[in-house]
Structure 1
Amino acid sequence: MKKVTGIGGIFFKCQDPDKMKEWYAKNLGMNTDKYGTTFEWRQSDHPDKKGFSQWSPFSDQTTYFQPSQKEFMINYRVENLEELLKELKKEGVTITDEIETYEYGKFIHIMDPEGNKIELWEPNDEEYDKILEVRTK
């Protein structure tokens, strides 16, 4: 069973997310919106299919990364989240919440041994692509 298939996103805390997005847009040419930016790429096993990775600055006051005290959180793309979750529970991995399901995929959060919160995402790239089309219009 494949577990992690790639990076789904990089999230980090900063004092002023809007200013940070403006800086990255101006200096590095990133096309940002209210969420940050999304990088589109092609899946190596299926080059005809798109994949996506999200880059998002969060306010340094966010509680989204809790219980981690770290300044960042990484989102990993996974296959078959429900089966992976069963394996993680057997291994004693700390699960911080329940699976949340949206049209663009399923999510759950876990903790690594050093207190880093990790977001696992079983993506539905076709639906995510539709959302991006609406966001960029």
Structure 2
Amino acid sequence: MRHIYRCPLRWSDMDAYGHVNNAVFLRYLEEARIDFMSGRPAESRQGSVVARHEIDYRRQLVHRPTPVDIELWVTQIKAVSFTVSYEVKDEEAVYARASTVVVPFDFEAQRPRRITDEERAFLEQYTDEAGEAVAA
């Protein structure tokens, strides 16, 4: 299953060339990830940090009144991290493909923490289209 976030485009997202600035895509991914994570089990709201981003820009995205869709799914679940993949797209095109490694974090202890059983069950609902997340 994939999570879909309808991301609004803002005039301030544009750069001097008239398209969404590449750096803004990171904020779009963050918005989609926050929307996705808001459905996690309550005890997992402690926090998380991003360990890595990768983005492949496919096509320029220009401002328009309609939102762009960001599809998000989980491609890997490990003991202390998980990988989220994304497609930023609409009916016309895929504008970017990306992935983020997310690490659950205990802010009180100031260190990464293990993924709980409840979190793992939540994440497994959003595994890739083949129905499998790589577990480690």
Q: Same-fold call, TM > 0.5? A: no
User: What is the TM-score of this pair, normalised by structure 1?
Assistant: 0.29
Q: Which has the higher contact order (CA 8 A, sep 6+)?
A: 2
User: What is the TM-score of this pair, normalised by structure 2?
Assistant: 0.29
